Structure 1
């Protein structure tokens, strides 16, 4: 019988992470461990209140499939047993990790992909005053970050972006409004971003207002985040978004994420690969998707005061996944 256990962890951040929905000072994750014939797999997920999740609800969902998991539940069966979300993600990634160790392969090899030795990842500038955000952007740039993700709410948009662009004129900027904007004024804001050389705008409007983007002429790509969870989301996004942000916590694990990436590309969407606040465990599980992504936003562990061991190596704006590509 397979041994399965789940538990929460809290990982303090080195500085507050501020987006339009509020501020965080720690990453709260749920971990699933499973052991079979002496081989141990582990998966991690981050419950997200925006999707009605909490540590308690995620742990309860995991507990609801404990007996089938102990009796050898497969990834395919898991897709039917639980809805997309953090609980299924933690289990799905643990099952992938268990299998890759049983097969004595890396996760990338198991998925049939080859990882780049260096993956440029976005580094996030969280919401603050224009001067503070410009200072944060400059510090990241001076430490080698080439791609900066700028978090915004509905206030001081031009002031913040002009200050940041002045501080880092050569950086690639992407902007994430986290659903905080409204349709009124969106065209002017998109033009401002384009004039400042912003490469992409992520989820400007609440997901419930996606219809506003139908036939909306925009001078830079717009990416769906909160509006895109699984393959079932794609039909409603056509003609509204140019790109989708794939996160394992939304798809409910690597299994659906891989399928979503393939289907999205077939339907003409570009891919962004994102993450929540998390440890290196969660980023390792997402690495097989990096070859398909135009933008990787995998800096979650860089916000932690201390990461899980072994941790991934981030330096000079680059994630080097070599340690994740070798079977333990």
Structure 2
């Protein structure tokens, strides 16, 4: 690859309203945007980092400056995986490299990745933790949603009340819940029993990262997804026997290149595959949309939390997400 120039911008994406999960309250998504130029073509990528690993904007900016020389030397995407650690900074660079290659080749990223033409994807719409009645009201107002993901806080009675209220408000939708590491192993039987009553289809990351072994012999009638426990390709084999589904996020693993490898490995090992996001604008959802073509469960609702998204933007219609090529990726079918 020819030598590149890299521009980096830090941005704060303001949320329309605060968003609560177990142990954390978000009021904005802080991201970095990397722009790579070769003198003729341009590629962009957005990284939001991983808040629970300290991978914030200052950390990402420092990592990008530390790696500036090797990035501007124009590595290919596979080489980039050896030059930068996983995280938001590498994600932004990796996605910019995909976008740049698509521009150079006049070929959309999905085609470069060897995928069939993309389809619109049913995405979950996430409800932040709040009082049950308020969450039920929000679910009722989200009329286009075919799938809803509920953020839990680790308070078992309150969490089950939240789920029951939302199920009563939306009896027809697919429901998943995200524990965000808020539970103890001793709580699982009661939690799962309560979720079964409400026809919950997915339980995401109930236990803290580092306590995966406590799931080794636990058999849940509801599939359990690993999120914080599974960051990169190296973590996928350890999911077997502990999780049923791997939640792949580009900010965790360091970009679309590694994410596609993770999806392949998860399939090989008999695991389900989910694409998630750490929040962000439509620019960050574009690469996730490509990965989502390989996934069983799609959670690409990050821009719906923003007071103002980028333009052009991904489209949300009838509970589905669609990312035109004008958003990212050089020519995804419009």
The answer to whether the superposition gives a TM-score over 0.5 is yes
Contact 1:20 1:151 in 2 (8 A): yes
Structure 1 residues 211-290: aligned runs within 5 Å = 211-290=213-292
Distance in structure 2 (CA, Å) of the matches to 1:149 and 1:213: 22
Counterpart in the other structure of 2:202: 200
Q: TM-score, normalised on structure 1?
A: 0.96
Counterpart in the other structure of 1:134: 136
Contact 1:214 1:239 in 2 (8 A): yes
TM-superposed deviation, 1:37: 2.5
Distance in structure 2 (CA, Å) of the matches to 1:290 and 1:22: 26
Query: For each residue in 1:2-58, what CA deviation from the matched residue of structure 2 results, as whole angstroms up to 9, or x when unmatched?
Result: 111112101111111111122112111011111003201101000222012121111
Counterpart in the other structure of 1:48: 50
TM-superposed deviation, 1:186: 0.8
TM-superposed deviation, 1:184: 1.3
Task: Give the match's secondary structure for 1:24.
Answer: strand
Query: For each residue in 1:208-257, what CA deviation from the matched residue of structure 2 results, as whole angstroms up to 9, or x when unmatched?
Result: 11111011021110000001111210222110100010000011001100
Q: TM-score, normalised on structure 2?
A: 0.94
Counterpart in the other structure of 2:146: 146
Moved more, 144-153 or 158-167: 158-167
Counterpart in the other structure of 2:331: 327
Q: Which ranges in structure 2 are unaligned for 5 or more consecutive residues?
A: none
Following TM superposition, the consecutive aligned residue runs of length 4 or more in structure 1 with deviations greater than 3 angstroms are 322-326
Distance in structure 1 (CA, Å) of the matches to 2:275 and 2:312: 22
Task: Give the match's secondary structure for 1:256.
Answer: helix
Contact 2:232 2:253 in 1 (8 A): yes
Counterpart in the other structure of 2:113: 111
Structure 1 residues 1-12: aligned runs within 5 Å = 1-12=3-14
Task: Give the match's secondary structure for 2:177.
Answer: strand
Seen in structure 2, the aligned counterparts of structure 1 residues 298 and 115 have a Cα distance that, compared at 3 Å, is farther
Moved more, 109-118 or 50-59: 109-118
